[in-house]
């Protein structure tokens, strides 16, 4: 009788661990989100962040915030000798790789800002990934990215 009880306990523990592992789905990590301050009358603003890919590839599909009418995903590249922004459908996040959204490259574009973004303030942004689903982050408004932390 004691053996059976012990077996059942072991089975339960195993089941609990398996469920916990399935629930803690490894998702891309979003780091250091920030946005440039904007001035009165400026309709669009740029947003930047770093996405550290999880063990499986994912894609950033869209983003949403209350401070703007919509958020577009943009790329920036030279077209002849003109720097051009283009809207992209999604941003690929390869497994285990870091994707930088930064000035002069991929970025978020806050379209139809409801009020100027003031330096020192912050706002909530919801990012939607194809596999990992939604992630809410806090975007800090500042004139330039904080100095990267040194990792040894
Ligand atoms: Cu843009």
Where along the chain do its domains lie?
Answer: 29-141
pLDDT value at position 144? 82
147 C-alpha to ligand 1 centroid (Å): 23
Q: What percent of the chain has pLDDT over 70?
A: 79
pLDDT value at position 21? 46
Residue 132: half-sphere exposure toward Cβ, Cα within 13 Å = 29
Q: Show the tokens assigned to 32.
A: 């250091």
96 C-alpha to ligand 1 centroid (Å): 26
Residue 7 has pLDDT above 60, yes or no: no
User: pTM higher than 0.85, yes or no?
Assistant: no
Vertex 124 angle, CA 36 and 86, to 5°:
50
Residue 6 has pLDDT above 60, yes or no: no
Task: Give the Cα separation of 48 and 83 in Å (integer).
Answer: 18
111 C-alpha to ligand 1 centroid (Å): 9
**At which residue do the structure tokens 């979003």 appear?**
30
65 CB-near residues (< 8 Å, 6+ apart): 71, 110, 123, 124, 125, 126, 139
On whether the 29-141 domain is CATH 3.40.50.10860, my answer is no
């Amino acid at each position: 009788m004691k053996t059976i009880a012990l077996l059942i306990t072991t089975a339960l523990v195993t089941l609990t661990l398996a469920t916990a592992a399935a629930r803690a789905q490894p998702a891309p990590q979003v780091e250091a989100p920030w946005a440039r301050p904007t001035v009165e009358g400026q309709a669009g603003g740029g947003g930047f962040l770093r996405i550290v890919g999880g063990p499986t590839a994912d894609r950033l599909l869209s983003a949403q915030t209350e401070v703007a009418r919509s958020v577009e995903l943009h790329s920036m590249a030279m077209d002849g000798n003109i720097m051009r922004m283009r809207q992209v459908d999604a941003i690929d996040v390869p497994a285990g790789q870091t994707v930088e959204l930064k000035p002069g490259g991929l970025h978020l574009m806050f379209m139809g800002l409801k009020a100027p973004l003031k330096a020192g303030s912050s706002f909530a942004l919801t990012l939607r990934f194809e596999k990992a689903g939604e992630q809410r982050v806090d975007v800090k408004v500042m004139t330039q990215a904080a100095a990267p932390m040194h990792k040894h």
